[in-house]
């Protein structure tokens, strides 16, 4: 048996073999797992970051495609025509790491209002992440929209029309960019008028030099003012022609009229070149004893028009065709008209219910709600001197749009039937189903009743004989009689219009502006008013015009009406929803329909 001795000063150390190595191994494993976990977390974070980046890029690309599609729609003369021509597929956009393709299509009718669909798919990454923006859009409707806030004063000249102290503009307002030099405000303001609704301007707020054109008037816009808005297309003659032609083609054949006025008028007996004849249809609206809305239509009327021979005396201008609102001409205002002998069954006025004019718009397999349509390839006279109608006013019951290739002349109150609000504006209530649209490729004007008064001197002009010349009367050329419009005794040639004169309609003027005729530029007293202190013109509806038309002239010192009307315009909010039959809007702006925006990944 051997003995183990411990040397002095040396401690004995006992070692348990196999303990340290496992501990190291466990530590290494733990550290490795942590490292791998960290690496995996970092990897997935990077993958998630790449995914989020790709998804965001895809979404932004899809939105860019939507914006490009809306911009394209705003540039179209006629969006329905463009879609019919297969132009709805938009070219692909490439943003480097992302891109998109978009399509514009027709979706449906909302009542009588077209609804369009924009579908844009954005892609990004490899493999590609795809995001879809799917939006229903509608053409924005206008309250009071104008190509220029100016009134023509010569063949190529115009002057700004002021909104003045005391005026309350209770309509959404839009004014196109004037591109003037020097750059001035495109809305003309004198004093402190009130703008209660949204105001849109095509121009920028500041000049190119940075000067603020609007700093002194910003507080007047209680409904807000928005700059750099898309132009309305009312000054685009091609857009007007396209929409009018579509309206004509969708109107029932029995309500498409091409008047041929055959009254024998000796124009040389009435100052020669100052007068001109034209062909027209007369419309008289009323509600019969059974409560049915009716329209009496007299075709083949002959109008005698009067034109002043001096630019310095008249505001009665229309746009020269083909000039897109830049050139003007003195036109022949309404003086009086003759209608064919009503005893001749071939030419007698015909009375229809408004419902008989109803048709539905058709597009891409979709059908709009029905509405009345009347198309006249010529001029239109709205008014009556017939005391046998149930009311002195023109009463419209039903939904009806009247389109004329020429001018529309208004010679009486034109009021829609049904309930109106109890406030001072007295506009049709939201549930009132009756509405009237008036669209002219020429002008829409309130006539001067003095033009047919029995006087040869200013301010009135002799209307001519009660019966037109009977020369060359035959089966195709019946005898014609003077037909008064406005208020007065039966067959009287001394006429007046009501004060106030009330027009309840959506008015669209493709060849100039809306206003009153024969308002004299140089002095007071030419237009015949009901009151010597000036009358009031009330419009309850909407208004779209290439340029402004003169309603009245005022004293610069007192503000009193010198000639014509003081105007009160009120928006009919129903017109902003598409109640009016036919697609006839000209705004250049498209907006999402309520709840119309959807975006989602592909497959959802």
CA pair distance 510, 235, nearest whole angstrom:
7
**Whole-angstrom Cα distance, residue 580 to residue 232?**
18
Instruction: Identify whether residues 170 and 109 lie together within a single domain.
Output: no
Residues 301 and 221 in one domain: yes
Give φ, ψ of 240 to 5 degrees: -65, -45
Residue 415, in any domain of the structure: yes
CA–CA separation, 534 and 516 (whole Å): 12
What is the mean pLDDT of the segment spanning 342-352?
88
Q: Are 438 and 411 in contact (CB under 8 A)?
A: no
The residue segments making up the domain with residue 272 are 144-587
Q: Are residues 133 and 231 in the same domain?
A: no
Span 413-438, average pLDDT? 95
> What distance in Å separates the CA atoms of residue 81 and residue 363, rounded to the nearest whole number?
10
pLDDT of residue 43: 53
Same domain, 457 and 520: yes
Scanning the structure block, which residue is given the tokens 């106030």? Answer: 500
In terms of domains, do 201 and 103 share one?
A: no
Residue 71 inside a domain? The answer is yes
Judge if 204 and 352 occupy the same domain.
Answer: yes
Contact, 123 vs 130, CB < 8 A?
yes
For residues 358-382, average pLDDT? 94
Query: Can you tell me the distance from the alpha carbon of 356 to that of 15, in angstroms, rounded to the nearest whole number?
Result: 114
Q: What is the mean pLDDT of residues 112-121?
A: 93
Q: Is residue 32 part of a domain?
A: no
Tokens at residue 580, please?
Answer: 């009016």
Centre a 10 Å sphere on the Cβ of residue 577 and count the other Cβ atoms it contains.
14
Q: Would you give the DSSP letter of residue 472?
A: T
Sign of torsion over alpha carbons 585, 587, 593, 597: positive
Total domain count, the chain:
2
Element (H, E) at 20: helix 20-75
Q: What is the rounded distance in angstroms from the CA atom of residue 8 to the CA atom of residue 36?
A: 52
What is residue 511's predicted lDDT score, i.e. its pLDDT? Answer: 95
- pLDDT at position 166 is 78
Does residue 35 belong to any structural domain of this protein? no
Which pLDDT score is estimated for 477? 74
pLDDT at 322 exceeding the cut of 70: yes
Mean pLDDT across 568-572: 91
Same domain, 446 and 532: yes
Query: In Å, what is the CA distance from 134 to each residue of 102, 129, 366, 596?
Result: 10, 17, 20, 8
Report the C-alpha gap between 564 and 576 in whole angstroms. Answer: 29
The verdict on 128 and 160 lying in the same domain is no
CB within 8 A of 135, min separation 6: which ones?
66, 117, 118, 592, 596, 597, 598
* pLDDT tens sequence across 276-301: 889 999 999 999 999 999 999 999 99
**pLDDT band for position 456 (50/70/90)?**
low
DSSP 167-212: -EEBS-EEE-----SS---SSEEES--EE-S-EEESS-SB-TT--B
Same domain, 122 and 150: no
Do the beta carbons of residue 486 and residue 417 sit within 8 Å?
Answer: no
Whether residue 15 is contained in a domain is answered as no
Q: What is the pLDDT, as a whole number, of residue 595?
A: 86
- 424 & 492 share domain: yes
How far apart, in whole angstroms, are the C-alpha atoms of residue 130 and residue 123? 4
- State the chain's maximal CA–CA distance in angstroms: 166
User: Are both 58 and 191 inside the same structural domain?
Assistant: no
Tell whether 337 is covered by a domain. Answer: yes
End-to-end Cα separation, the chain, in angstroms? 89
Residues 155 and 111 placed together within one structural domain of the fold: no
Which of 137-141, 210-214, 289-293 has the weakest average pLDDT?
Answer: 137-141
Cβ-based neighbour number of residue 10 at 10 Å:
7
In a domain, residue 42? The reply is: no
Does residue 10 lie within any of the structural domains? no
Cis upstream peptide for 126 (omega within 30°): no
Q: Residues, the chain, total?
A: 604
User: Containing H/E element for 334?
Assistant: strand 333-340
Report pLDDT for 1: 46
Q: How many C-beta atoms lie closer than 10 Å to residue 267's C-beta?
A: 15
Beta carbons of 519 and 551 less than 8 angstroms apart: yes
Phi-psi region of 487 (alpha: psi -120 to 50; beta: other; left: phi over 0): beta
Residue range 163-190, pLDDT digits in tens: 888 788 888 999 999 998 899 999 999 8
Q: Identify whether the C-beta of residue 512 lies closer than 8 Å to the C-beta of residue 442.
A: yes
Model's pTM, two decimal places?
A: 0.88
């Amino acid at each position: 048996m051997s003995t183990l001795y411990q040397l002095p000063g040396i401690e004995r150390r006992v070692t348990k073999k196999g303990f340290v190595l496992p501990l190291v191994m466990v530590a290494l494993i733990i550290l490795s797992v942590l490292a791998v976990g960290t690496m995996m977390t970092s990897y997935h974070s990077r993958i998630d970051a790449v995914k989020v980046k790709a998804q965001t890029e895809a979404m932004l690309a899809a939105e860019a495609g939507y914006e490009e599609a809306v911009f394209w729609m705003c540039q179209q003369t006629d969006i329905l025509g463009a879609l019919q021509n297969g132009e709805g597929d938009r070219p692909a956009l490439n943003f480097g790491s992302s891109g998109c393709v978009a399509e514009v299509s027709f979706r449906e009718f909302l009542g009588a209002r077209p609804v369009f669909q924009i579908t844009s798919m954005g892609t990004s990454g490899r493999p590609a992440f795809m995001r879809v923006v799917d939006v229903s859009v509608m053409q924005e409707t206008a309250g009071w929209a104008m190509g220029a806030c100016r009134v023509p004063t010569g063949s190529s000249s115009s002057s700004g029309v002021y909104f003045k102290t005391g005026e309350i503009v209770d309509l959404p307002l839009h004014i196109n960019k004037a591109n003037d030099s020097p750059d001035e405000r495109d809305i003309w303001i004198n004093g402190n008028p009130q703008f209660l609704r949204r105001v849109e301007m095509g121009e920028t707020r500041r000049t190119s030099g940075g000067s603020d054109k609007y700093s002194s008037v910003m507080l007047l816009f209680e409904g807000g003012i928005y700059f750099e808005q898309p132009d309305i297309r009312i000054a685009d003659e091609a857009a007007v022609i396209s929409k009018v032609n579509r309206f004509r083609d969708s109107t029932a054949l029995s309500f498409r009229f091409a008047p041929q006025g055959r009254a024998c008028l000796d124009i040389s007996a009435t100052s020669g070149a100052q007068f001109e004849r034209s062909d027209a249809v007369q419309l008289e609206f009323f509600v019969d004893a059974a409560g049915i809305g009716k329209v009496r239509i007299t075709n083949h009327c002959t109008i005698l028009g009067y034109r002043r021979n001096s630019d310095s005396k008249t505001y009665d201008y229309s746009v020269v065709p083909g000039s897109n609102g830049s050139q003007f001409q003195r036109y022949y205002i309404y003086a009086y008209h003759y209608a064919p002998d009503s005893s001749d069954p071939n030419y007698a006025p015909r009375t229809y219910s408004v419902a008989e004019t109803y048709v539905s718009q058709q597009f891409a397999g979709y059908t709009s709600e029905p509405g009345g349509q009347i198309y006249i390839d010529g001029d239109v006279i709205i008014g009556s001197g017939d005391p046998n109608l149930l009311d002195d006013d023109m009463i419209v019951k039903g939904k009806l749009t009247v389109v004329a290739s020429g001018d529309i002349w208004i010679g009486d109150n034109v009021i829609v039937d049904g309930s109106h609000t109890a406030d001072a504006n007295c506009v049709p209530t939201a549930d009132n189903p009756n509405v009237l649209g008036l669209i002219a490729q020429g002008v829409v004007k309130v006539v001067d009743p003095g033009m047919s008064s029995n006087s040869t001197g200013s301010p009135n002009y002799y209307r001519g004989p009660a019966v037109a010349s009977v020369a060359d009367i035959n089966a195709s050329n019946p005898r014609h009689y003077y037909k008064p419009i406005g208020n007065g005794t039966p067959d009287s040639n001394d006429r007046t219009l009501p004060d106030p004169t009330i027009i309840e309609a959506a008015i669209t003027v493709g060849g100039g502006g809306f206003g009153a005729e024969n308002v004299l530029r140089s002095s007071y007293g030419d237009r015949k008013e009901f009151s010597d202190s000036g009358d009031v013109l009330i419009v309850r509806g909407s208004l779209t015009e290439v340029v402004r038309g003169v309603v009245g002239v005022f004293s610069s010192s007192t503000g009193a009406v010198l000639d014509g009307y003081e105007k009160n315009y009120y928006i009919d909010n129903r017109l902003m929803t598409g109640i009016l039959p036919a697609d006839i809007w000209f705004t250049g702006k498209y907006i999402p329909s309520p709840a119309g925006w959807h975006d989602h990944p592909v497959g959802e």
